[in-house]
Chains A and B, each alone.
Chain A
Amino acid sequence: MFEVFKKEVNSFLNSLIAYVVISVFLLSIGLLTWVFPETSVLEYGFASMETLFSLGPYVFMFLIPAITMRMFAEEKKSGTLELLLTQPLTEWQIILGKYFSGFMLVIFSLVPTIIYYYSLYQLGNPVGNIDTAGVAGSYVGLILLGGVFTAIGLFASSMSENQIVSFIIAVFLCFILYSGFGSLAAVDVWGQFSLALEQLGILYHYNSLSKGLLDSRNLIYFISMATIMLMLTHLVLKSRKW
């Protein structure tokens, strides 16, 4: 697994993907947090990182599928997947190697935003007037959300030979899972099932985490969502044998 992981990380670094992803993420989040008047904390007047945590998922929704779209689609198209699958590796080793390389890139793009926390901590009046627990919970939520999106992207990539198709599928699935269920639940036809439907979506659990409460149910939700997506990927890889 580690060999595949290392190979993927090298290919990020060699192909500029890593630099582009990290800088685009930081640039867009930076502009939204500090410059654009509608969302800027400076205009808002409260020491809060709300902008990062409410808009971050939407930036991830496009960036993560862009990272993962090539992972299987390209290997399928060029035939290297056959080579990889006839080497002494299990399907899981390949999937997890690729998954963790993508996940690591996501985490790396988040790390520099800790500076935002420090800045806001200093800007608060009095200094330190910021909901630290809420910020920590939101970070955990955003990282877990990145993990789920990476798994979705990997699954979408395994389904097609075409990178653009897998990108679009991934964006769509991320969107549906993130806010689609919540919005659907708001349609007044579900009756008592409305809450259950809302709980299927990521947003519900993400919002609970950002209150600073690390509830095991939310953590389990994220982990199982990522696991389900990876299992589907495994299923797709195995399907060549049917």
Chain B
Amino acid sequence: MSVEISGLTKKFGQQAAVDDISFSVNQGEIVGFLGPNGAGKSTTMKIITTYLPPTRGKAMIFGQEVTEKPLQVRKMLGYLPEHNPLYLDMYVKEYLPFVGRLYGMKGKSLTTKVAEMVELTGLSREQHKKLGALSKGYRQRVGLAQALIHDPKVLILDEPTTGLDPNQIIEIRNLIKLMSKDKIVILSTHIMQEVQALCDRAIIINKGKIVADGKVNELQGTMQQVQVLSLEFSSPVDLSGLKALENIESIEEVNELNYTVKVSGHEDMRSQIFKMAGEKNWPLVGLKKEENTMEKIFQQLTKS
């Protein structure tokens, strides 16, 4: 257990922003921290990064408690806060060494590490610019480079792709994937595809409480109590015969040629439907199972 959170509670006045959450993350895992705005994602991250102390509970990073040994904890962490704050009047070539020196790096090892980071994050062409002159995507790269410069064991990224255009989002995701090898990465987001694309595991949090915690594909599986199939025919048919099959819950007509069929249970009914279509000479041209996306899971779990 490398990052261990137990019974963490943070109250602002009477309101609990984080309410008794516990989870642990192992070496090499990328964990997506999901939740609607105001669910307590950022607060949890601020506690892990020692910026705020918890009201109750513990957060241990490789055996060090965040409130007892904040300086040791900070050395192991790389943190990209929400909105990626940067000193806009500093140069890229000035900012990264500054952060490196704060972590006690110096001399040649610092210079090579900065060069490596610049290379890795694709900042080579921008390295002589002021941070304020960079576009949002490049600023995000600087934010990531800053969080990674001291080769931290744990990487905490608070909404790393918010506000970027689709190409930049993909670039930043690839960067995170590339750099997350043998590190623990905890990233928060409210973009579901991001979790599907990046994470091994998702923790869904709502109103300060954990509502789901599991592997991304397992989460998708458990939610699949009702499968939705969409059927398309090339000419109008009478589907009443389909009711004879087991597990068919309902048949809805979208229009003359398209139907949605709801199936209960986990069994894949597509082959049976296909067979029946063959027997009854239905001109079946499309048969598609709607994936139970993270989006739907998220909506189901967090709707108030």
For A3, the chain B residues whose CB sits under 8 A away are 98, 101-102
Q: Is B71 a contact partner of A88 (Cβ separation < 8 A)?
A: yes
Q: Which of A10-18, A131-139, A154-162 is found at the contact surface with chain B?
A: A10-18
The answer, yes or no, to whether A78 is at the interface (CB within 8 Å) is yes
Q: Is A87 a contact partner of B99 (Cβ separation < 8 A)?
A: yes
Give the nearest-CB partner of A10 in chain B.
B94
Q: Is B51 a contact partner of A82 (Cβ separation < 8 A)?
A: yes
The answer, yes or no, to whether A192 is at the interface (CB within 8 Å) is no
In the complex the two chains form, what is the Cα distance from A90 to B71 in whole Å? Answer: 8
Scoring A residues 69 to 88 as 1 if CB is less than 8 Å from chain B, else 0, what string do you get? 00000000011101101111
Quick one: given A78-B85, A80-B86, are A87 and B102 in contact (CB under 8 Å)? Answer: yes
For B90, the chain A residues whose CB sits under 8 A away are 7, 10-11
Q: How far is the CB of A211 from chain B (nearest CB, A)?
A: 44
Give the nearest-CB partner of B95 in chain A.
A7
Q: How far is the CB of A62 from chain B (nearest CB, A)?
A: 23
Q: Is A240 a contact partner of B52 (Cβ separation < 8 A)?
A: yes
In the complex the two chains form, what is the Cα distance from A157 to B98 in whole Å? Answer: 23
Q: How far is the CB of A85 from chain B (nearest CB, A)?
A: 6
Chain A binding surface SS class:
helix
A82-118 CB contacts (< 8 Å) to partner B: 82-83, 85-90
Quick one: given A3-B101, A10-B94, are A87 and B52 in contact (CB under 8 Å)? Answer: no
**Which of B46, B81, B104 contacts A88 (CB under 8 A)?**
B104
The answer, yes or no, to whether B49 is at the interface (CB within 8 Å) is yes
Interface size class of A (residues with CB under 8 A): 10 to 19
For B173, the chain A residues whose CB sits under 8 A away are none
In the complex the two chains form, what is the Cα distance from A11 to B99 in whole Å? Answer: 15
Quick one: given A3-B102, A85-B51, A88-B75, are A11 and B85 in contact (CB under 8 Å)? Answer: no
In the complex the two chains form, what is the Cα distance from A241 to B52 in whole Å? Answer: 6
In the complex the two chains form, what is the Cα distance from A86 to B101 in whole Å? Answer: 14
Q: How far is the CB of A13 from chain B (nearest CB, A)?
A: 11
In the complex the two chains form, what is the Cα distance from A90 to B103 in whole Å? Answer: 12
For A241, the chain B residues whose CB sits under 8 A away are 52-53
Q: Is B50 a contact partner of A86 (Cβ separation < 8 A)?
A: yes
In the complex the two chains form, what is the Cα distance from A80 to B131 in whole Å? Answer: 13
Give the nearest-CB partner of A4 in chain B.
B102
Residue with the highest number of chain B CB atoms closer than 10 Å, among A14, A85, A88: A88
The answer, yes or no, to whether B74 is at the interface (CB within 8 Å) is yes
A1-59 CB contacts (< 8 Å) to partner B: 3, 7, 10-11, 14-15
In the complex the two chains form, what is the Cα distance from A7 to B99 in whole Å? Answer: 10
For A240, the chain B residues whose CB sits under 8 A away are 51-52
The answer, yes or no, to whether B79 is at the interface (CB within 8 Å) is yes
The answer, yes or no, to whether B77 is at the interface (CB within 8 Å) is yes
Q: How far is the CB of A71 from chain B (nearest CB, A)?
A: 13
Quick one: given A10-B94, A88-B75, A90-B71, are A83 and B101 in contact (CB under 8 Å)? Answer: no
In the complex the two chains form, what is the Cα distance from A14 to B98 in whole Å? Answer: 15
**Residues of chain A whose beta carbon lies under 8 Å from any beta carbon of chain B:** 3, 7, 10-11, 14-15, 78-80, 82-83, 85-90, 240-241
3 closest A-B pairs by CB: A79-B85, A80-B85, A86-B49
